[in-house]
A and B are shown apart, each in its own frame.
Chain A
C-alpha cells in the first residue's frame, strides 16, 4: 500500500535534519508547499465519509491556505480513502482551483456562497463541490468558526487576477530553493523526457522521426506576427518562403495558416483554421496559398471538423449533465435510480460526444493510412476539436504516441503549443462561463476508450490518464495554465524579472508585496519584453516527480505493454512516398470529407461558390477521378499496417463505455483495479526472476574466476503492491500474489 509519508525515500544523500519548515508542518498538520501560507482554520470539524451519512465521520480541523483547503484528522488512524498518492495534495485536501462551488447550510436551508455574497445565517454544514466530481461534506460544532472560514474559502477560491495565482509564488520560491524538502524533487529530472516543442530542435526531431520530406521549420512566427495564438515555430513546405507564410495569414482566421503536424507513411496531417470570408483574393496569393496547402502532394483532403462533431458548447453541456449525474448526491451506490441509469446516461450525450470524436478520428486515420492521402483538418479557430482529432489520429496510428513519452510530446505538440485555450476552456479563473468547455477532458476520455479496448498497445495506464486529468485541476503547471504559447512565454519572462528583483533584497522570506501593475499588464495584455534567458520556468506537468513519489509513478506504466523498439519505428516506414509526384505538374485535386464520404471540391476556396450542392458535385464527378482515387489502395499494404497494432476505435454503442474509474471514482470508491495490480505483480516477478538469474550467472562467473563474490543483496523492483523482501523465490511469489489482491 502506498504511504503518503514515504516521499522522502528517494531523496538522495543523508537524511536532513528537521528544518523549521518541517516543524511548521507538524504544527499545521499538512505538508505545505513552498510559498504556501495558512489563511485560516477551524477546529472540531467533522468530515462525513459519505454524503448524508452522518454515522461515519472523522473529527479534525479544516485549514484554508492560499493553495488548498485541507482537512487534518485528529486521530492518527486515517481512513484509507481512494488515495491518490500525490505529494502535493493529501487524501482529504482539495486545491482551491479545483473547487467548483461552496455551499453553506444548516439543517433547513442551503446557500451557495460566493466571494461577494455574505452569509445571513449561522452555517452548520459546508459542502464543497469539486471539479473532479468529488463532494466534501463538513459539519461544524462551533458555528462561529464556520461563519468565518466558509466565506474565507469562498473568497480564496476565486482569484481576482491571474497574477494572484499561487503558482507564481510557488515557482519563485522553488527557484530560490529555500525549502530543503523540495530541493531534490525538482532535480530528479523527468522519468520520461518529453519534447516540449518549445524549441526549433524539437520540431526538427519530429520531422525526422516521422520521416517527413519536403518540410522545413519556419521562424516566421517568432515574434507572433503571423498568428498571435500559434507557436513560434511553424512547419511549412520547403518551397514556401517565410514572406509567403506571412502573407498567407490574411486568408485564415487568427492567421492560423495550414501547417504540418504529423507524417504517416506517405501522407501528412495538417491543421488550419477556416478561411477568412472577407479576404481579398489575388490570383497570385491564391497560388501561393495552394503551394502552402498542397506542399508536395497533388491530392488533398480537407476535413471540416464543424461537420458531425459536437461544438465546444455542446461538449460542455454534456459534461455538465454528466457531472450532475455522477455527483455524490445522485450516484450513491444504493439509490433507486438504478433502473433509469442507462437512459439518464444516454441523456447526458457525453458518450455520444466520445463516439463522434472517435468516429471522426478513425475516418481520418483510414484516409491517412489506407489511402495515403494528405489530410488537412479545418476548424473555425483550429484550437479545440482540431487538437482533439489530430491527437487522436496520432494515438491510433503512431505507436510512439502510445508510449508515455510520446503521449506527453503529443499533448505538447497538439494542444499546448498549438494554442488550445486551456485557461478559457477550464475557466479556473472564473472570467467567463461562456468559453468553458471540457474539450481536453473529452480527449482524455477518448484515449481511455482506446486504452480500455487495447490495453496491450499502450505504455500507460488509466492511472496515468487520471493523473493528467487531476493535474488540470491544480493550477500549478505551465502546460495547462495559458491560452497560447505567447501568453505562456510572457508570463514566464515577467516571472524571471520578478525573481531577479526580489531575490536580492530578501533571501529568506517571501516578499509580501503584490505584483506591480506593470507585471499585470504584461500578463493580461500581452505586453512585450526583451527576450532573455529563462531562469525560473513555471513547473511542467510532465515533471511527475513533483507530484508523485516514484512508487506511485510505477503505476503509470502498463504491465501488459512490451516496449518493442521495432514497433515504435513502424510509423513513417513506407515504401511508397507520394512526394516525388509533385515534380510533375499534376492537376491538384481537393476532396472534402463529408458524412464519411469523400467529395471532390471543384475549387480550393469554398467562398467562391458555396451554393453548389454537394449532391450535384458528387454526381458530376468523372469516373477517372474515382479510379484515380482508388489507385493508392491497389498498392499492397505494407506489413507495418498490421491491424493488430492499430487500435481502431470501436464506434458502436456497445463498445463505448463510461470511464467509471474517473467519473465514479469518489462515490463508488473505485480504486486501482485488482486485476491490474496482479499483473503488475506478475511483471515485477518476471523482472525479479530475470535479475536473480543474472545474479546467479554472475556468481558462477566470479566463482570460476576465483574472485570473491560481492554480496550485494538483490532488492525487488519497486512494485506498488509489494513491500515484501523475502528471500526465497516461492514465498515471494505467493506473497506478491496475495498482496496484489489488496
Chain B
C-alpha cells in the first residue's frame, strides 16, 4: 500500500500490524510499562490490555495495540508506540491527550456484534462481548476499539465501567472537578499566560459592574444593586447587577427579581440593552395576572425615569426564535452528519451533502439568531430605541441575543479579554444553566446547545470579518471543547449561587484549610502551554481598539451615524410616553396571551425595506473593523464551522492547505515586519540592539506539517495520499471489493 509504504519505518514496528495477523504481537511486553497519565484526584477504575484502536486513516483496516484505561475522569488509550512527535506534543492539551476522552465528552456508545451496530445503554449491557466498541464524542471524534484479543473478563468489566460512567446519571458532587481540586489542594494554576494582557472581568464584584457601566457610559442612568449579596433575594440572580436607577429596592425583592429589567449594555448614544424575566404566556391563574400588571408598571417606570428621550421596545424572544427543544433537535440532526462510521458512510452522505445539511436546520437556527440580533442592532443604532429582551427565565436566548448584539456593536467584545468578560457577564452571571443545558449529569431532558449556538453565530461573524476579531477560530473551537471537560467552574453550574454554594460547602468541610476554588476556563494555562495559546491570537487582527473610555466620552453621536431620515412609521408613532407605553404593554399582554409574532407597527415588508436601507447605508461605507459589524445572514453567507465539525474526518482534511496556512503565512509576514522594523530603527537611531525582540508572532514553524485541521487532526503520515483509491486499491481489495463502491457512489450521478 502506497500510503504506508513511505511510512515504512512505522510499519516495521511491532505494534503497528494488521489485525489479520495477531500472532505477530508479543502481547506481554507491550502493556506492562504503560502507565496512564493521571491528574490529581484521578483514579483508575479498570483497564484492559491488547485493545486495538483502529485508525480512521487506514480505513479501519489497521490499528494500534494498546491498553484501554477507564478512570473517573477519562477513557484513555495507551499505546506502546508514541504517536506524537515533538511538534505535535507541544500542541497538546495538558489535561487531555490525543487518545483521551473525557467521560462527559462521550455522546453515544455502540457495540458491534457480528458486523451489526447496537447501542450500549446502561442497564442493558449484554454478557456477550462485542467485537468492537464505538465511542462517539461530543467533539466529533469517533473511536473504534477492537476487543477481539482482549481477555474476556477484562473486556466485560471495562465495558460495564465505561457505560456506567459515561451514560448513567450522576450527581454534581461526583463530578471530577471536586476530587481534582480537592486533591490538587492549593491548585497551582501555573504561570499566568501574559501579564500585560488585560484581565478577564469576572463580574463577581461590584466594582466590575461599575467599571463596565462606566466604560459604556451607563453610569448615570443605571445603578448597581448589591442587596442580593449572599443571594438573599434570589438564587437565580448574580450577587451584583445593574438596573435602571428608578427601580426601587423593594420592587426587586417583591418577585425575586422577576419583571425587573436588568441592564446588559449601554449604547454610546444613551440607549441600552436590557433583559427581563417574565412568566410564560400560557399560565392563567391569578398570580400570573398579578405578574403581568406588575410588569406593565415596571415598563412604565422604565420609561418615565429615563433621562434621555428614549423610546423602549420589548422583544419577546420566544415568539420569533426557535424553542430550546427545536434547537436541540436541529443540533442532534446536524451532529449526525459529522459522525460517519467509515469512509463509505461518509461518501454516502457526501452525495446529498447540501440538502442533508439544509434539512438539519441548524444553519437556519443560526440565521434566525443573526437576524434577530440585526433587528435589535438596528433599533439601538438607527432608531435610538432601547430594547428589553423578554424571556421566561431570562437565561437562555436572552443571553444569546444580548451577547451577540454586543459583539456586533462593541469592538471591545471582539478582543479575547472582552469576549471572555462578555461570557462572564451575560452567560455565567446571567445564570445560564450550563449544567442542565450541557446535561453533564445526564439526569434531565433540558439539554440544549444554546451556548454552542452563540459560538456558532460569533464564528459566522468571525469568518465574515476576520480582521475584526482578536481571537481565531481555533480559540473558539478550543472553548467549545472545554465545555466537556468537567473541571472549569465556568461551565459546571446552573447559576453563580450554585457555584458558590458548592465551593463553600467544600471549603467548610475542609476547615478552610485550602482554597478550593475551581479554576475558570479562562485560566488557559491549566490546559495549554503558551505556545498553544499563541494560536488563539489572530494575526490579521488590526491593532488594538482605541482607549475605550476616552472615545466613548467624547462621542455624543453614535460612531456610524445614519444619515437616513427615520422611516415614516417611526415618525407617526405617538410621541407622548404614556401613550406609547400603554400601547407597548398592551401589545406585550397580547403577545403573552395569544403568542402572536411580534410585529409592532411595521408590516413585514416595510420592515425589510427599512432594514435594507439601514443595511445598505452601512454597507456603502467602508467597513470599520472597530465599529459596527453587521453579519450577513443570507443563505450563501452562512458556512459550516469546518474546524469544529470536520476536523476528525480524514477525507476532508486538506494537507498543506486551508485557512491555517493563510494565517501561518500572515504571521510570518508580521514577523518579518517586526524584524525589519527593529533593524530600521536600529539603523536610523544608530542604537545598539537594545533588547532582542522575542515577541515572535509565528506560532507554528513547520508549514509543511500543517493541514486544514491543524492543530487538531495532525497529519500522521507525510506522504501524498491519493484521495481516491486508484490502482493501489486494486491489489488490496483484490479479494474483497467492498472498498471500491465507496467512491463510486458519488460518481454515477451526472
Q: Using CB atoms and an 8 Å cutoff, list the residues of chain A in contact with chain B.
A: 50, 53, 55-56, 79-80, 308-310, 314, 331, 333-335, 337-343, 345-346, 349, 351-353, 355-356, 359, 362-363, 366-367, 369-371, 453-457, 559-560, 591, 593, 595-598, 626, 629-630, 633-634, 636-637, 641-655, 658, 660, 664, 668-669, 674-675, 678-679, 682-683, 685-686, 689-690, 692-693, 696-697, 700, 729, 733-734, 737-738, 740-742
Residues A345 and B354 in contact, CB atoms below 8 Å apart: yes
Knowing A643-B718, A729-B680, the reply to whether A650 touches B727 (Cβ < 8 A) is no
Decide: A338 and B354 in contact? CB cutoff 8 A: no
B750 x A346 contact (CB < 8 A):
no
Q: Which residue of B has the minimal Cβ distance to A364?
A: B726
Are A53 and B364 in contact (CB-based, < 8 A)? no
**Cβ contacts B657-677/A at 8 Å (1 or 0 each):** 110011011100110110011
Q: Which residue of A lies closest to B359 (CB)?
A: A343
Q: Which residues of B contact A737 (CB under 8 A)?
A: 542-543
The interface residues of chain B lying within 8 Å CB-to-CB of A626 are 730-731, 734
Residue-by-residue, is B1-40 near A (CB-CB < 8 Å gives 1, otherwise 0)? Answer: 0100110000000000000000000000000000000000
B481 within 8 A of A: no
Q: Given A647-B657, A686-B669, A686-B672, are A343 and B727 neighbors across the interface (CB < 8 Å)?
A: no
A730 to B743, CA, bound (A): 55
Complex Cα gap A129–B364 (Å): 31
How close is B19's CB to chain A, nearest CB, in angstroms? 23
Q: Are B656 and A675 in contact (CB under 8 A)?
A: no
A596 CB contact (under 8 Å) in B620, B654, B670, B724: B724
Say yes or no: is B494 at the interface (Cβ < 8 Å to chain A).
no
- Please report whether the interface of chain B is mostly helix, strand, loop or mixed according to DSSP: helix
Q: Which of B142-150, B216-224, B585-593, B605-613 forms part of the interface with chain A?
A: B605-613
Q: Within the assembled complex, what's the spacing in Å between the Cα atoms of A653 and B655? A: 16
Contact among B2, B367, B662, B730 with A598 in the assembled complex (CB-CB below 8 Å): B730
Kindly provide the distance from the CB of A363 to the nearest chain B CB, expressed in whole angstroms. Answer: 5
State which of B237-245, B423-431, B522-530, B622-630 sits at the interface with chain A.
B622-630
Identity of the chain A residue whose Cβ is nearest the Cβ of B357 in the assembled complex:
A342
CA distance A345 to B353 in the complex (A): 11
Query: Does any Cβ of A come within 8 Å of B747's Cβ?
Result: yes
Which of A634, A653, A690 contacts B350, CB < 8 Å?
Answer: A653
B556 within 8 A of A: no
The CA-CA distance from A647 to B720 in the complex, in Å, is 10
Q: Is the CB of A741 within 8 A of B669?
A: no
B199 at the interface (CB under 8 A from A): no
Instruction: Give chain B's interface residues, CB within 8 Å of chain A.
Output: 2, 5-6, 346-347, 350-355, 357-358, 363-364, 367, 465-467, 540, 542-543, 608-609, 611-613, 615-616, 619-620, 622-625, 632-637, 640, 642, 646, 649, 651-652, 654-658, 661-662, 664-666, 669-670, 672-673, 676-677, 679-681, 683-684, 703-706, 708, 718-731, 734, 740, 743-744, 746-750
Known: A349-B750, A626-B731, A682-B669. A646 touches B543 (CB 8 A): no
A515, chain B: closest CB distance, angstroms: 43
Which of B465, B651, B684 sits near A674, CB closer than 8 Å? B465
Instruction: For B467, list chain A residues within 8 Å (CB).
Output: 674-675, 678, 741
B366 to nearest A CB, angstroms?
Answer: 11
Distance A626 CA – B669 CA, assembled complex (angstroms):
49
Contact B744 A596 (CB under 8 A): yes
A663 vs chain B, min Cβ distance (A):
9
The answer to whether A643 and B656 touch across the interface, beta carbons within 8 angstroms, is yes
Show 25 residue pairs from A and B whose CB-CB distance is below 8 angstroms, ordered by the A residue: A334-B615, A339-B364, A340-B635, A341-B635, A343-B355, A346-B353, A346-B354, A349-B750, A363-B724, A363-B726, A595-B740, A596-B725, A596-B729, A633-B5, A643-B655, A643-B721, A644-B706, A648-B720, A660-B636, A668-B632, A668-B637, A689-B673, A696-B683, A737-B542, A741-B467
**Contact B652 A642, beta carbon cutoff 8 Å:** no
Which of B354, B664, B676 is most buried by chain A, counting CB atoms within 10 A of its CB? B354
Known: A456-B662, A637-B6, A674-B623. A643 touches B652 (CB 8 A): no
B666 and chain A: residue at smallest CB distance:
A679
New contact pairs (6) apart from A596-B729, A674-B623, CB-CB < 8 Å: A340-B358, A352-B749, A369-B720, A595-B740, A651-B724, A652-B350
Q: Which residues of A contact B731 (CB under 8 A)?
A: 626, 630
Q: Are A678 and B540 in contact (CB under 8 A)?
A: yes
Give the A-B pair count, Cβ closer than 8 A. Answer: 263
Q: Is the CB of B622 within 8 A of A742?
A: yes
Q: Which of A335, A559, A643 contacts B719 (CB 8 A)?
A: A643
Contact check: which of B5, B612, B750 meets A334 at CB < 8 Å?
B612
Interface centre among B6, B616, B634, B743, by most chain A C-beta atoms within 10 angstroms, is B634
Given contacts A366-B722, A598-B726, A690-B676, contact A456 B747 (CB under 8 A): no
- Which residues of the other chain, A, contact B6 by a CB distance below 8 angstroms? 636-637
Q: In the complex, what distance in Å separates the CA atom of A445 from the CA atom of B280?
A: 52
Given A334-B634, A652-B651, the answer on whether A629 and B723 have CB atoms closer than 8 Å is no
Query: Smallest CB-CB separation from B347: which chain A residue?
Result: A652
Known A637-B719, A637-B720, A683-B669; contact A338-B634, beta-carbon cutoff 8 A: yes
Residues of A within 8 A of B649 (CB): 652
CA gap between A630 and B2 in the complex, in Å: 9
How near does chain A come to B704, taking the closest CB pair, in angstroms?
4
Given contacts A345-B354, A682-B673, contact A454 B635 (CB under 8 A): no
CA distance A370 to B731 in the complex (A): 16
Contact B727–A597 (Cβ < 8 Å): yes
Residue of B nearest to A346 (CB): B354
A726 to chain B, nearest CB (A): 15
| A362 in complex: contacting residue of B619, B680, B722, CB < 8 Å | B722
In the bound complex, CA of A588 to CA of B387 (Å): 79
Q: Which A residues are CB-close (under 8 A) to B721? A: 643
A362-B651 Cα distance, complex, nearest whole Å: 14
**Separation in Å of the A601 CB from the closest CB of chain B?**
14
Q: Assuming the A-B contacts A633-B2, A679-B669, A693-B683, are A560 and B726 also in contact, with contact meaning beta carbons closer than 8 angstroms in the complex?
A: no
Contact between chains at B750 and A596 (CB < 8 Å): no
List the B side residues contacting A690 at CB < 8 Å. 676
Beta-carbon contact of A314 and B673 below 8 Å: no
How far does the alpha carbon of A55 sit from the alpha carbon of B617 in the complex, in Å?
13
With A453-B708, A597-B740, A668-B632 as known contacts, state yes or no: A741 contacts B720, CB within 8 Å: no
Residue of A453, A643, A653, A738 touching B353 (CB-CB under 8 A): A653
CB < 8 Å: which of A633, A646, A658 contacts B656? A646
A670 to B283 Cα, complex, angstroms: 49
Whether the Cβ atoms of A654 and B724 lie closer than 8 Å is no
Most buried by B among A353, A597, A649: A597
CB closest chain-B residue, reference A742: B622
What's the least CB distance linking B464 to chain A, in Å? 10
Question: Which residues on the B side are within 8 Å of A634 (C-beta)?
Answer: 5
The listed residue (B2, B620, B704, B744) touching A370 by CB distance below 8 A is B2
Across-interface contacts of B708 in A (CB, < 8 A): 453
B29 to chain A, nearest CB (A): 31
User: In the complex, which residues of chain A have a beta carbon less than 8 angstroms from the beta carbon of B680?
Assistant: 689, 692-693, 696, 729
Contact of A645 with B634 in the complex, beta carbons under 8 Å: no
Known: A644-B704, A668-B636, A679-B666. A342 touches B355 (CB 8 A): yes
- Chain A positions within 8 Å of B728 at CB level: 630, 633
CA distance A351 to B634 in the complex (A): 19
B358 touches A654 (CB 8 A): no
Closest 9 CB pairs of A and B: A341-B635, A653-B353, A644-B656, A689-B676, A346-B354, A644-B704, A366-B722, A742-B622, A342-B358
B5 touches A356 (CB 8 A): no
Contacts of B5 in A (CB 8 A): 633-634
Most buried by A among B351, B466, B669, B740: B669
Q: Is the CB of A333 within 8 A of B632?
A: yes
Distance in angstroms between the alpha carbons of A415 and B2 in the assembled complex: 34
Cα distance A339–B669 in the bound complex, in angstroms: 40
**Nearest chain A CB to B598's CB is how many angstroms away?**
18
Q: Give A700's nearest chain B residue, CB to CB.
A: B683
Q: What is the bound-complex CA distance between A457 and B706, given in angstroms?
A: 13
